[in-house]
Amino acid sequence: MRSVTFDASSRRWLLRTPGTSYVVALADDDAPRCLHWGPALTAEQAASLPGPAAFGASSFDSTAGEEELVSEVGARFETPSLQVVLPGGDRGIEWRHDGHEIDGGHLTLRFSDRRHPLLVELHYRVHDDSDAIERWTVLRPQVPVTVLRCDSAAWSVPALDGYRLSHVTGGWSSEHALSRTELPVGETALTSRRGLSSHHANPWLMIDGGDAGERHGEVWSCALAWSGSWRVTLTRTTSGRASWTGGFGHEGLTWRLEPGEEWVTPVFAGVYAPDGYGEASRRWHDHVARHVLPRPDEPRPVVYNAWEAVGFDVNEANQRDLARLAARVGAELFVMDDAWFGGRTGDSAGLGDWWVNDERFPDGLSPLIDEVHRLGMRFGLWVEPEMVNPDSDLYRANPDWVLHMPGRSRTLLRNQLVLNFARPDVADWAHKWLHKLVSEHAVDFLKWDFNRAFTEAGRPGDPDQDRLWIDHVRAVYSIMDRLRADHPHLRIEACAGGGGRTDLGILARTDQVWTSDNTDAHDRIAIQRGFSQVYPARAMAAWVTDSPNPLTGRAVPLRFRFHVAMAGALGLGGDLARWSEAELSEAAELVAVYKDIRPVVQFGRLWRLPYGVQYVHGDRVVVLAWHGPVAFGTPIAPLRLAGLDPDGRYRDEDTGTVHHGAVLMSRGLPPLTPGGGYTSTLLRLRAC
C-alpha cells in the first residue's frame, strides 16, 4: 500500500499512516482544503468524500473553511496562516496550483500567486511506523515580500457536538499543568513571546468533542517542533466548526524576504487517535522515539547532579567526595553544575568566561574527570552558552554581542543578558569554545541551560532585525548538530530554568530535557502527567533530591521520591554527604531496581492510571502508584490496569503471585492504604 496517492479526476491526495488517513483536495479556486482527518480510508472511500464546499450563509460570513493554509484573499475571516505584503500593497495569496510531487511518504503541493511571482509549497510527510502527519510550509519569493505571519500549517477537525481544548500552562517550577476546557466560540490564542517554548505554555494541543477520556473517544492533536517564540490560534465559529493555525514567531514581528530566498517553517505535526488521550499520547511517544530523538534506543543513564548539594561552592575536593557517593548508590553519569568556570562564585558574575577556574581546580578538570571515569561513571558539565553577565570579561570586550536596542535600557534578569546567536560571529564563538571544551576535557555530557527570556530583542543596524527571533534558535540547533556530529559520544540535556525549552525541535537534538527545577515528588506527579501527554518517559529527566525539599519545604519519604522519579529517566540531585547510611543503602537498592525496570519504563508503552502510571514492554509490566495525604476515611479505588492480554496470566516478580489479565483490568489491584502520609508502591509483573 502506497502511503501517498493522487486521484487526478477529483484533484485530491490521500495520505495514509498505519492507523489513520488524511485527505487533501483542491477547491474550485485551487485553495487546498482538508476533506478528512481521522480513521483509515481506502482509496475508493476517499474518492467518495464530498468535495470542498463554501460555508458562507450571508455576505458577512466566510465562504471558505477547512483550508490547509488560510490566506487573506477573498471572504476569509478566520485567523490567516499566511500574511504577506507584496509589491504595490497586495496582501495574502490568490492560489494557483502548479503541480505536486510524491516521494515515498513525502508529498509536496506547489502553488503560486495569480498576480505576483511568489511560490508557496505545502509539505506533508508520513511514515509507515508512525501515525503522525508532519507538515511545513516553504516560501520562495521572486520579488521583495514582507512577511507578517507564515505558519507551518492549518488544521481542521470534523463538525462535533462540542469542542474541548487540552493544553498545558504553568510557570517556573510549575510547568506542564494540564488544562482541559471547552473551546469558546471565537479565537483562542496559545503563544510564547519569550524567545523559547516557555514554562507558561507548550506548543501542543489536543481537541476532542468533550466526551473523550484516557481510554475512549476521538482526539485530534498537534505539536510544533520549535524552541523559540510560537503561536497557535484556534477558531470556533458560530456555525459549529473548529480549526487552528500555528507556527513560529509571535504577533508584531515582521520579516523581509528578498528575491531568491527560501523561507522554511518548522514542522507542525498532527496525530489522530480513536481511543482517547492515552492512545494519542502513545502515538506521540512512538513518533518521538522513531522520528525525533537522535538516540532513541539508548538507555538513559542514572544521573547524579551536584547542584543541590553545593550550589556555587564548587571545588575539586567536594566534587570528588560527591562522585564517590554517587558511584556508591549506582549513578552512571556524574554532572558538575554551575561555577566551575571563570570568576563565577554566584549568579552575578563570570557567565560567558568559559575557562576553568584555576583556584577551584588548580590542576584543571582532568583529575576530577579521571576520578569520575575510574569510578565507572561518565562525566558531564553544566553550560549556559546563550547568556552573559555584564560583570564578565566577555561582555566588557563585546558589549554589542547581546540583544539590545540603542535607545532602551538593557534589562537584567537573573543578572544576565542574552547573547545574540543570530550574529554569525557570536554563534561561531560559542561553537568554538564548546567544541574545545568537549575535545580537551573528555566531556561525555552537557546540560545546556537557558535562564532568562528575550528582552530588548534588537540588533542595531540590521534592517530586518526581527529575524533574530528565528535565526537565534536556528543557530542553537546548528551548534548542537555540529557538536553531535563532531563528538558522536556526546549526549546533551536541554534545560531552560527547568522545563522552559521542551518541544519536538529541541528533542531532535538532545537526549532528554530537564522537566522542572521543582524536584518535590508531590508536585512532580502533576508536572510529569502533563509532560507525558506528548513527550515520552525516556526524555523526562526526574531527580530524587533531599527531604525537606529545598524549594517547597515538603518532607516526603525516600521511597516515595524514588517511585515518582522512576517514572522517567531517573536521576539524583540531593546532598548525598548529608544522607544517612540507611538512606544511602536504600537509595542503592532502589537504583538497582530502577536499572531492572528501566527498559520497561523508557521503552515501554504508557498507560496513565488514576493515581499512577503503567508501562508495558514485551512480556513485562511495571506499575508505579502513589498517594499523598488524604482525610481519614477517604475511599481509594482499586487500581485497574490497562493494555494487558485479558486471557493472559501475569506473575508478580517479587512475590510470585499470579494474576489474570482480565481481573487486573476489571477488578484491579487492592488500593493503596494512605495512612495519613505519602504512600507509594512499585509492582513488577511478567507474563507467564
pLDDT in tens, 420-434: 999 999 999 999 999
Question: Would the annotation count 495 as a binding residue?
Answer: yes
Model-wide pTM > 0.95:
yes
Specify if 184 maps to a domain. Answer: yes
429 is in an annotated binding site: no
Which residues share a beta bridge with 269?
Answer: 134, 223
**Residue 46 domain flag:** no
Is 448 labelled as part of a ligand binding site? yes
Q: Residue count of the chain, please give it.
A: 688
CATH classification at residue 681: 2.60.40.1180
Active site residue 353: no
- At residue 277, the pLDDT reads 98
- The yes-or-no answer on residue 517 being catalytic is yes
Tell me if 248 is assigned to some domain: yes
**What is the count of structural domains for the chain?**
2
Hey, is 167 helix, strand or coil? strand
Q: Which of 236, 264, 291 is the endpoint of a domain?
A: 291
Asked whether 532 and 281 are in contact (CB, 8 A), the reply is yes
**Is residue 414 a known part of a binding site?**
yes
Residue 436 annotated as binding site: no
**Residue 677 domain-assigned?**
yes
Residues 6+ apart with CB under 8 A from 522: 552, 554, 556, 628, 678
Set 449, 471, 503, 546: catalytic member: 449
**Within 10 A of 187 (CB to CB), how many other CB atoms are there?**
12
432 in a structural domain: no
Q: How far is CA 80 from CA 27, 73, 84, 153, 440, in A?
A: 18, 10, 10, 11, 50
Cβ–Cβ < 8 Å for 203, 502 = no
Q: Pick the catalytic residue from 131, 511, 517, 520.
A: 517
Residue 108 covered by a domain: yes
List, as one string, the DSSP characters of 281-317. Answer: HHHHHHHHHHHT-SSTTSPPPPEEE-HHHHTT---HH
Structural domain harbouring 287: 69-291
**Residue 179 is assigned to a structural domain of this protein:** yes
321 is in an annotated binding site: no
Tens digit of each residue's pLDDT (9 = 90 or more) over 142-191: 999 999 999 999 999 999 999 999 999 999 999 999 999 999 999 999 99
Cα–Cα distances in angstroms (integers) from residue 684 to residues 597, 603, 664, in the given order: 8, 15, 13
pLDDT tens digit sequence for 489-522: 999 999 999 999 999 999 999 999 999 999 999 9
Confidence of residue 55 (pLDDT cuts 50, 70, 90): low
Q: What digits encode the pLDDT tens for the residues 307-361?
A: 999 999 999 999 999 999 999 999 999 999 999 999 999 999 999 999 999 999 9
Q: 140: domain CATH number?
A: 2.70.98.60
pLDDT at 60 exceeding the cut of 90? no
34 is in an annotated binding site: no
Cell numbers describing residue 569: 529517566
How does residue 1 score in pLDDT terms, banded at 50, 70 and 90? low
Q: What is the pLDDT of residue 240?
A: 86
449 is in an annotated binding site: yes
Is position 451 within any domain?
no
**pLDDT average, residue stretch 648-656:** 97
- In the predicted model, what is the mean pLDDT of residues 373-390? 98
Using the 3D structure, point to which of 291, 311, 338 is the last residue of a domain: 291
Domain termination residue (choose one: 256, 291, 326): 291
